[in-house]
Amino acid sequence: MSKLIEICSRIREPDRRMAEGTQRLLDSKTKPRRSLGRLEDLACQISAIRGTSEPDPPRKAIVVMGADHGVAEEGVSAYPQEVTGQMLLNFARGGAAINVLARHAGARVVVVDMGVKVPLPAVPEIRAYRIGPGTRNFTKGPAMTREEVVAAVEVGIQIAEELVRDGVTLLGIGDMGIGNTTAASALAAVFTGAPAEEVAGRGTGIDDMAFKRKIDVIRRGLSVNRPDPQNGIDALAKVGGFEIAGLAGVVLGGAASGVPIVVDGFICGAAALAATRIASLTAGYLISSHRSVEVGHELVLQALGTKPLLDLDLRLGEGTGAVLAMHLVEASLCILREMATFTAAGVSDSGA
């Protein structure tokens, strides 16, 4: 049995009865019932995933995967391709937005090179799992082979499992890759059935001419490759990316280990959606952190069946939205653990 098949077979639906029990516990706290709204939903979801009505404070990690995309040669980004590798090195040095926000959230940052175009110098802060020097241009054929996709997904599974063994109980996913909003847009079109113009956004800030070119590139990629919307591996191979496939693997590995996954924005949302096409029960383990400025993200969120926690006009990626949302996850569990009940506090309950 392959690692991917074995992992998918281990994913179970979160415990709904545990969620119901946790809601009853929250209802006993000194507040009007449901008055903490989605914080209560979060606590119930985490309890259902973790299998306890009193989860310990989360130990957090954000997995940031980077890779290059052959489709970048079509002029779909405002930045040159070498920026992918340069930013991974910036992550390694601790100088990027994700590093700052993760330090504030108390989250470990795990940086992974899934296949930048030019190999990076060996540094201990970057895990090198290079599948290749970037994907192929999907306007001319598949971005990856099936074997490459499975290898990338299994890297993500391995990293998730290692982190969970090390005590991590809350995983986040983030991305870096020049051209990856084009790949994510193509995947969003595949999985939602929406046309290219409804899923393509401005990415790194491209002008009108580049935006029109981007829409055309997505259309051509879908026409040439005809990805199967029900087959996550096939869709990833046809129009995905090494880092997107790897992040789908982190989702699968986290779900199989009974750990919730906080999903960043558009690219990570496309990775999570691919994971649900590989193993549908992963959907119950996902927490969508924020609504991206990228127009296709709303369709991805709808397809995932999730409502984002934040709406801050973010479009950076890197996992920045995910680590911000981790504060809310932790707050929900603090309410569950620390807030007094009506009985303990000697406060009269309305009985509602």
Question: From the DSSP assignment, how many helices (H) and strands (E) are in the chain?
Answer: 15, 6
Contact yes or no for 222/239 (Cβ under 8 A): yes
What global pTM score does this model have? 0.96
The pLDDT, as a whole number, for residue 338 is: 95
* CA triple 143-148-153, angle to 5 deg: 110
Tokens of 271: 């990775």
CA distance 246 to 115: 11
Strand arrangement, sheet containing 261-263: 126-128, 107-115, 60-67, 170-176, 261-263, 286-288
Sorted by where each begins, the domain ranges of the chain are 3-55+335-345, 60-329
Q: Which of 1, 18, 19 is nearest to 10 (CA)?
A: 1
What's the pLDDT score for residue 2?
Answer: 86
Q: Say what the pLDDT of residue 237 is.
A: 98
| DSSP 8-state class, residue 56 | P
Write down the architecture of domain 60-329 according to CATH. Answer: 3-Layer(aba) Sandwich (3.40)
Q: What pLDDT was estimated at residue 171?
A: 98
Mean pLDDT by 10 residues, the chain (352 residues): 90 97 96 96 98 94 98 89 96 98 98 96 96 97 98 98 98 97 97 95 81 93 97 98 98 98 98 98 98 95 97 96 98 96 91 64
**Other CB atoms closer than 10 Å to residue 177's CB: what's the count?**
32
pLDDT at position 352 is 60
Are the beta carbons of 311 and 287 closer than 8 angstroms?
A: no
Q: Which residues are catalytic?
A: 318
pLDDT of the residue at 202:
82
pLDDT at site 284:
98
Domain 3-55+335-345, CATH class in plain words = mainly alpha
